Structure 1
Amino acid sequence: MFVLELTYTAPLERVDALLSDHVDWLNTHYASGTFIASGRKEPRDGGVILAVGADRAAIEEVVASDPFVTAEVCAYRITEFLATKTSPELAAYRQELPA
């Protein structure tokens, strides 16, 4: 599982101009099952996405296609972790520690 942390690198006016395209991009990846939660950070200086993927390279490819990235209005920090404990609702995403 991956935590994708966005940090805006441009004024909010530029970010907001791309927001509709970013939401369309989010919706595409929710539909594919890659994203399971997302939202703005408070204070509003970026956002966070919880994602699942085959590997880091696949997630990096998804991130690179974000309109915020292609327009250079945000930077991503990608953190991979093993979700060894989840709520019952997220049991499908539970992972095992490597042997």
Structure 2
Amino acid sequence: MFVVSLNYKVPLTEIDRLGPVHVEWLKACYAEGIFVASGPKRPRTGGIIIARGPRDVLDARLADDPFARAGAADYNVTEFTAKMTVAQLDAFKEL
């Protein structure tokens, strides 16, 4: 699994302008089964995505994010092995 940390590089007005197409991109990634959870950071300096699947697929999808295409955010990807989860997330455990 992966934790993706987005850091905004542009004013929030630009992030808000790109927001609707970014949300559509997020929905597509969820439909493909790549994303597990996502949301904005507090304070609103970027976002966090929990993802799964092959790294090359994730990298390709991140490159297609409207924020990435507009140069509005940087992405830091950290891979981890989920050894323990709450019962609701048992399907994501990696043995």
The TM-score bracket by the shorter chain reads over 0.9
CA distance in 1, matches of 2:11, 2:28: 25
> Which residue does the alignment assign to 1:13?
13
Q: CA deviation at 1:24?
A: 0.1
Aligned length: 95
Q: CA deviation at 1:2?
A: 0.3
Q: CA deviation at 1:12?
A: 0.6
CA distance in 2, matches of 1:62, 1:78: 12
CA distance in 1, matches of 2:56, 2:31: 20
Q: CA deviation at 1:8?
A: 0.1
1:69 aligns with 2:74: no
Query: Following superposition of structure 1 onto structure 2, how do residues 75-94 of structure 1 map, counting pairs within 5 Å?
Result: 75-94=74-93
Q: CA deviation at 1:32?
A: 1.2
Amino acid at match of 1:49: I
Query: CA-to-partner distance for each residue in 1:51-75, whole Å, 9 max, x for gaps?
Result: 0012x22211111010000000000
Amino acid at match of 1:2: F
SS, match of residue 18 in structure 1 = helix
> Which residue does the alignment assign to 1:22?
22
Q: CA deviation at 1:85?
A: 0.6
Tell me how large the CA RMSD over aligned residues is. Answer: 0.7
Stretches of structure 2 that go unaligned for 5 or more consecutive residues are: none
Amino acid at match of 1:16: D
Query: CA-to-partner distance for each residue in 1:19-76, whole Å, 9 max, x for gaps?
Result: 000000000011111111111000000000000012x222111110100000000000
- Normalised to the residue count of structure 2, the TM-score between the two structures is 0.97
Stretches of structure 1 that go unaligned for 5 or more consecutive residues are: none
Runs of at least 4 residues off by over 3 Å: none
